[in-house]
């Protein structure tokens, strides 16, 4: 009898273990990213990567899907008053924070009050333009936000990855600074640990409000600075997803049968700004000549290995209300003609600066230098590193003495809409050091269009105003718009549901591992 | 000897104070406003001001220095401008990986380098010498970056024997220490060889041979000890440099060490971290020089310190 039992026991155990096997296999995903995170607090981060990582444990009232379309997340819907000042937001019910607190309207008030309070010194203070007058809790699931002046892109600000709902209980417990070391949100994963600078680990939150999600157990975010090392991690299978992939390695990874290379569309626009307040760039013919002289298709091939498309306007496709005006054609003869008409048949000498000092920027500036030489413009290239960039361009106090002339730089708007894609770069009020109008461009019609669009509540009217603004700026040519980059990422074929979205952040709500 | 040691250790304090002052001035001379860098290009001037106040950068330079100095005396090196964590924590977390990587790299590179150097010296101008010096030259000339990437491609990606990045297990130490050690081994080899070649001409070596001692005894017992003094000096210097964290190796292998911390800090003008690290490196160099001096006395008993 004993022998019989024993001989049955082993196979029975084996069967039990085998049956339990698949259920216990943990789905652990590793993301290899390019730099360390600055903080887990999206209200205090201005780098896209930290904000993307924070989506593991935080969500906002609104958000973006994988195609960068705005969708409600924690909000049910909103209503705006006729004068455009009062937004009433209805919240979804039955959502809990990772510490068990219920998500109610008080969370909206606590979070918005925190970032708009200058005493908290949060880096995202300026995102709301000092425009929120007050936030009120109407009832448990309704919040009312009153603005000082109407601002139609307001909901886009609520969709920005910085605007998340942090648990009020956690904020009270940890305070303004330490909340960054103990994040508590409503997101699909809860924070486990951050071993600086090695990795940041998050694990599945069982009480997540979307049933059945998330579909994986843990995500480990690993910052690996060197491009080749990141690619090596993908090849050995130590990481399942990586962004960005450098162009030189794209073909290596594409050739691997168990990896997939993805070139996603982006709203990252690269352009050459020209200081319109200084001779000879105050002459529109000179600026147009420069725009005609650069072959954008060739630029995409040379500097971006083909992973870029020529720019079609001053705001890239994918940004709400962006219009496709058309690629500025490459016409060397016309460029020479315009230079002659402007009074510079033999060209002139000037400075060409780049906002970045990586190898792609080096290639771009050398290419532009060569192209401009064909119409007689001799340029001296300087690649600025971050500190120099801030000192010589961004923080330069007096526009009259600003040294910047030709400047290679890029921009992408994380609110996905036209106001933030155009205003900081081209509005007359946005000259450095206030914002980023490095062309020192000022056009009354453009400024008026932007201002009226902010006040407009009718979306057709907004579209018209933004169209006019973009066409005005395009014709004046304070820039030579260059290319719109494609975002190159790679993932293991076993991994699904992870996307790089057009503003270079990530969307991984549908993440799953086979 | 003890008195000598104490005198040297006391001399540390004015040295470090001077270094502290110099690095503070230098770091604040770098172009670029850390508040603007931290706040980002998106930020409005108001936000930049808020960040500036938060980081304590709105105070005058002398005031900032007083804050820094009084903090250091109490052991508080301030907080990183980037991560808001105490500088001491940031550095402490990175110190152990860098230290152990340095130790392992030095260990094998000294062992191999000195061996090659001795063989080259003893059989000088014959084939062991030529092979040894060829290896040494390639070790110095092959860029560490390329060597690291090459080793990673072969051993991690193609063969899968060793892990790629990080510092978690003993296996993670192999490729980075090989990469770091290659240049050091090469330098050790050349130094040992030239020092040894000098020694082998000396009278006492001739005497030892004349006494009938086996050649190996002559070389190891009589020759090596005397040849060590310049070699030990070089070792000390190399150890000091490596302890600063070799940025190239740290980037390729994603090593969580002090080299990357320093480069990131300089990039973002993270003053407190830069100051803390430079003070630490100065302290390390002073201590290493002291250790080397003590080693001289151990190797050569005729050297006496007062």
Query: For the segment B12-63, what is each residue's pLDDT rounded down to a tens digit?
Result: 888 888 988 898 888 888 877 888 888 877 778 888 888 888 888 888 888 8
Q: Do A122 and B36 touch (CB under 8 A)?
A: no
| Residue B143 burial (C-beta neighbours within 10 Å; 0-12, 13-18, 19+) | exposed
Report the alpha-carbon distance of residue B242 to residue B225 in Å, rounded.
Answer: 25
Interface-testing mutation among A200, A387, A403, A404, with chain B (most B C-beta atoms within 10 A): A387
* Res A467: pLDDT: 95
Q: Do residue B152 and residue A232 have CB atoms under 8 angstroms apart?
A: yes
In chain B, which residues have their Cβ closer than 8 Å to the Cβ of A235? 157
How would residue A21 be classed by pLDDT, with cut points 50, 70 and 90? Answer: very low
Instruction: With beta carbons less than 8 A apart as the criterion, state whether B211 and B204 touch.
Output: no
What is the rounded CA–CA span in Å between residue B172 and residue B168?
6
pLDDT at B101 over 80: yes
Which residues are bridge partners to A219 per DSSP?
A29, A202
Taking 60 as the threshold, does the pLDDT of residue A383 lie above it?
A: yes
For B15, the 3-state DSSP assignment is helix
Lowest mean pLDDT among A20-34, B70-84, B139-153: A20-34
Mean pLDDT, to the nearest integer, of B227-243? 86
The answer to whether the Cβ–Cβ distance between A434 and B153 falls below 8 Å is: no
Contacts of B157 in chain A (CB under 8 A): 232, 235-236
Encode pLDDT of A63-114 as tens digits: 999 888 899 999 999 999 988 899 999 999 999 999 999 999 999 999 999 9
Chain B interface test: which of A130, A233, A412, A430 (most B C-beta within 10 Å): A233
CA distance B48 to B59: 15
Assign A478 to helix, strand or coil: coil
Nearest Cα of chain A lies from the Cα of B214 at a distance, in angstroms, of 51
Residue scoring higher pLDDT (A428 or B55): A428
Minimal CA separation from B184 to chain A, in Å: 23
Out of B30, B90, B164, closest to residue A236 by CB: B164
β-strands A349-354, A378-383: how paired?
parallel
Mean pLDDT estimate for chain B: 86
Model confidence band, residue B200 (pLDDT cutoffs 50, 70, 90): confident
| Residue A264 · residue A448 · CB < 8 Å | no
Look at A46 and B40 and tell me if their CB atoms are within 8 Å.
Answer: yes
Q: Does A149 or A8 have the greater pLDDT score?
A: A149
d(CA B40, CA B46): 12
Mutate to test the interface with A, among B27, B30, B32 (most CBs of A within 10 A): B32
Contact A232 B153 (CB under 8 A): yes
Q: CA A97 to CA A79: how far, in whole Å?
A: 25
Supply the pLDDT for residue B302: 81
Could you give the 3-state DSSP secondary structure of residue A248?
helix
Instruction: List, for residues A168-189, the tens digit of each pLDDT value.
Output: 999 999 999 899 999 999 999 9
Asked if the model's pLDDT at residue A341 lies above 70, the reply is yes
In this prediction, what percent of chain B has a pLDDT beyond 70? 99
pLDDT on residue A258: 93
Q: Which of A20-29, A311-320, B92-101 comes out lowest in average pLDDT?
A: A20-29
What pLDDT sits at residue B140? 85
Q: Is A64 helix (H, G, I), strand (E, B) or coil?
A: strand
Q: What is the pLDDT of residue A2?
A: 56
Which chain A residues are within 8 Å of B31, Cβ to Cβ? 387-388, 390-392
CB-nearest partner of B36 from A223, A225, A390 = A390
CA distance B162 to chain A (A): 10
Determine, for residues B31 and A228 on separate chains, whether the beta-carbon distance falls below 8 Å: no
Other C-beta atoms lying within 10 Å of the C-beta of residue A460: 8
> In this complex, which of B32, B33, B51 lies closest to A123 when CB atoms are compared?
B51
pLDDT on residue A1: 53
Express each pLDDT in B259-297 by its tens digit: 888 888 888 788 889 989 988 988 888 888 888 888 888
Find the mean pLDDT for residues A276-290: 93
| Cβ contact A394–B41 (<8 Å) | yes
Provide the ipTM.
0.79
**Which distant-in-sequence residues (6+ apart) come within 8 Å of B49 by Cβ?**
B35, B58
Residue B189 has pLDDT above 70, yes or no: yes
**Residues of B whose CB is below 8 A from A390:** 31-33, 36-37
The pLDDT value recorded for residue A18 is 47
Task: Look at residue A304 in the predicted model and tell me its pLDDT.
Answer: 92
Average pLDDT value for chain A: 90
Question: Strand runs (DSSP E) across A338-467, as ranges?
Answer: 349-354, 378-383, 406-411
- Min CA distance, B286 vs chain A (Å)? 28
Q: How confident is the model at residue A5 (pLDDT cuts 50, 70, 90)?
A: low
Radius of gyration of chain A (CA): 26
Set of chain B residues whose Cβ sits within 8 Å of the Cβ of A122: 50
Is A387 close to B269, i.e. CB distance below 8 A? Answer: yes
Q: Do A232 and B165 touch (CB under 8 A)?
A: yes
Contact A236 B42 (CB under 8 A): no
Q: In percent, how much of chain A has pLDDT > 90? A: 74
Q: Which positions in chain B touch A224 (Cβ < 8 Å)? A: 165, 254
Q: Are B144 and B175 in contact (CB under 8 A)?
A: no
Confidence of residue A6 (pLDDT cuts 50, 70, 90): low
Write the residue in B39, B253, B260 that is nearest to A46 by C-beta: B39
Least CB–CB distance from A386: residue in B37, B83, B253: B37
Cβ distance A26 to A119 under 8 Å?
no
Helix (H, G, I), strand (E, B) or coil at A477: coil
Question: Is the pLDDT confidence value at A22 over 50?
Answer: no
Q: What is the pLDDT of residues A224-273, one digit of tens each?
A: 988 889 999 999 999 999 999 988 889 999 999 999 999 999 999 999 99
Q: How far is B42 from chain A (nearest CA, A)?
A: 7
In DSSP terms, A485 is beta-bridged to A308
Structure tokens at A441: 């461009």
Cβ–Cβ gap A434/B160 under 8 Å: no
Mutate to test the interface with B, among A114, A221, A225 (most CBs of B within 10 A): A225
> Taking CA atoms, what residue in B is nearest to A435?
B44
From the CA of B192, how many Å to the nearest CA of chain A? 35
pLDDT digits (tens, 9 = 90+) for B213-224: 888 888 888 888
Q: What number of C-beta contacts closer than 8 Å exist between A and B? A: 122
Cα distance between residue A210 and residue A94, in whole Å: 10
Which residue of chain A has the CA closest to B146? A228
In chain B, the residue whose alpha carbon lies closest to the alpha carbon of A386 is B267
Please tell me the distance in Å from B263's CA to the nearest CA on chain A. Answer: 12
| Among the partner residues B33, B85, B160, nearest to A395 by beta-carbon distance | B33
pLDDT by residue (tens digit) across A356-366?
A: 888 889 999 99
Q: Do A424 and B85 count as a contact with CB atoms less than 8 A apart?
A: no
Nearest to A160 by CA among A513, A440, A420: A420
Is a pLDDT exceeding 50 seen at residue A409?
A: yes
pLDDT of residue A7: 55
Indicate if the pLDDT at residue A24 is higher than 70: no
Please check the confidence at residue A9 and state whether its pLDDT lies above 70.
no
Q: In which band, very low, low, confident or very high, does the pLDDT at A125 lie, cut at 50, 70 and 90?
A: confident
CB neighbour class for A481 (10 Å; exposed up to 12, middle 13-18, buried from 19): buried
């Amino acid at each position: 009898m004993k022998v019989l039992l024993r001989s049955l026991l082993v196979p029975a155990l084996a069967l039990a273990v085998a049956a339990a096997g698949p259920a216990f296999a943990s789905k652990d995903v590793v993301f290899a990213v390019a730099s360390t995170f600055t903080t887990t607090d999206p209200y205090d981060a201005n780098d896209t990567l930290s904000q993307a990582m924070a989506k593991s444990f935080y969500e906002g009232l609104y958000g973006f899907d994988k195609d960068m379309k705005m969708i409600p997340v924690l909000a049910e819907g909103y209503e705006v008053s006729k004068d455009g000042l009062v937004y009433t937001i209805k919240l979804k019910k039955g959502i809990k924070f990772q510490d068990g607190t219920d998500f109610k309207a008080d969370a909206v008030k606590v979070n918005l009050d925190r970032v708009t309070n200058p005493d908290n010194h949060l880096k995202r203070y300026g995102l709301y333009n000092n425009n929120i007058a007050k936030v009120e809790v109407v009832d448990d699931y309704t919040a009312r936000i009153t603005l000082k002046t109407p601002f139609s892109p307001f909901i886009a600000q609520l969709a920005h990855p910085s605007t998340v709902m942090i648990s009020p209980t956690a904020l009270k417990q940890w305070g303004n600074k330490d909340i960054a070391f103990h994040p508590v949100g409503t997101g699909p994963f809860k924070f486990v640990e951050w071993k600086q600078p090695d990795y940041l680990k998050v694990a599945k939150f069982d009480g997540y409000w979307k049933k059945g999600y998330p579909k994986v157990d843990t995500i480990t975010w690993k910052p690996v600075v060197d491009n080749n090392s990141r690619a090596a991690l993908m090849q050995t299978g130590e990481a399942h997803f990586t962004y960005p992939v450098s162009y030189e390695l794209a073909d290596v990874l594409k050739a691997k049968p168990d990896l997939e290379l993805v070139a996603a569309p982006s709203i990252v626009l690269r352009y050459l700004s020209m200081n319109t307040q200084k001779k000879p760039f105050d002459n529109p013919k000179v600026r147009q000549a420069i725009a005609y002289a650069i072959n954008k298709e060739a630029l995409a091939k040379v500097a971006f290995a083909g992973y870029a498309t020529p720019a079609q306007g001053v705001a890239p496709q994918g940004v709400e209300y962006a219009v496709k005006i058309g690629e500025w054609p490459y016409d060397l003869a016309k460029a020479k003609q315009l230079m002659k008409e402007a009074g510079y048949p033999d060209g002139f000498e000037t400075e060409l600066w780049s906002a970045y000092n990586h190898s792609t920027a080096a290639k771009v500036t050398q290419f532009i230098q060569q192209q401009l030489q064909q119409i007689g413009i001799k340029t001296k290239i300087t690649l600025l590193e971050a500190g120099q960039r801030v000192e010589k361009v961004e923080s330069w106090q007096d526009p009259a003495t600003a040294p910047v002339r030709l400047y290679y730089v890029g921009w992408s708007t994380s609110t996905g809409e036209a106001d933030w894609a155009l205003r900081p770069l081209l509005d007359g009020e946005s000259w450095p050091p206030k914002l980023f109008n490095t062309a020192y461009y000022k056009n009354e019609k453009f400024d008026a269009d932007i201002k009226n669009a902010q006040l407009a509540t009718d979306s057709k009217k907004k579209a018209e105003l933004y169209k006019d603004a973009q066409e005005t700026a395009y014709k004046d040519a304070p820039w030579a718009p260059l290319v719109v980059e494609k975002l190159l990422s790679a993932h293991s074929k076993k991994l699904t549901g992870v996307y790089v979205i057009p503003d270079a952040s990530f969307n991984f709500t549908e993440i799953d591992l086979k | 000897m003890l008195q000598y040691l104490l005198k040297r250790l006391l001399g540390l304090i004015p040295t470090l104070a001077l270094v502290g002052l110099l690095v503070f001035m230098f770091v604040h001379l770098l172009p670029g406003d850390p508040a603007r860098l931290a706040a980002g290009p998106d930020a409005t001037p108001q936000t930049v001001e808020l960040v500036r106040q938060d980081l304590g950068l709105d105070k005058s330079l002398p005031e900032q220095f007083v804050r820094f100095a009084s903090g250091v005396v109490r052991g508080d090196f301030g907080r990183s401008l980037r991560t808001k964590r105490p500088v001491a924590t940031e550095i402490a977390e990175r110190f152990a990986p860098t230290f152990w990587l340095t130790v392992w790299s030095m260990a094998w590179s000294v062992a191999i380098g000195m061996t090659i150097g001795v063989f080259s010296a003893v059989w000088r101008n014959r084939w062991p010498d030529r092979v040894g010096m060829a290896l040494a030259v390639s070790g110095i000339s092959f860029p560490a970056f390329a060597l690291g990437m090459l080793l990673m491609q072969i051993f991690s990606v193609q063969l899968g024997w060793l892990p790629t990045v990080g510092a978690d297990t003993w296996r993670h130490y192999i490729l980075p220490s090989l990469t770091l050690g290659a240049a050091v081994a090469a330098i050790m080899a050349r130094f040992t060889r030239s020092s040894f070649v000098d020694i082998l001409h000396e009278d006492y070596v001739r005497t030892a041979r004349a006494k009938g001692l086996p050649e190996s005894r002559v070389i190891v017992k009589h020759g090596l000890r005397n040849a060590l003094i310049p070699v030990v000096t070089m070792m000390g210097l190399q150890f000091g440099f490596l302890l600063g964290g070799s940025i190239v190796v740290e980037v390729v292998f994603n090593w969580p060490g002090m080299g990357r911390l320093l480069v990131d800090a300089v990039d973002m003008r993270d003053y407190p971290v830069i100051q803390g690290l430079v003070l630490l490196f100065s302290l390390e160099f002073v201590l290493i020089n002291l250790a080397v001096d003590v080693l001289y006395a151990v190797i050569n008993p005729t050297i006496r310190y007062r």
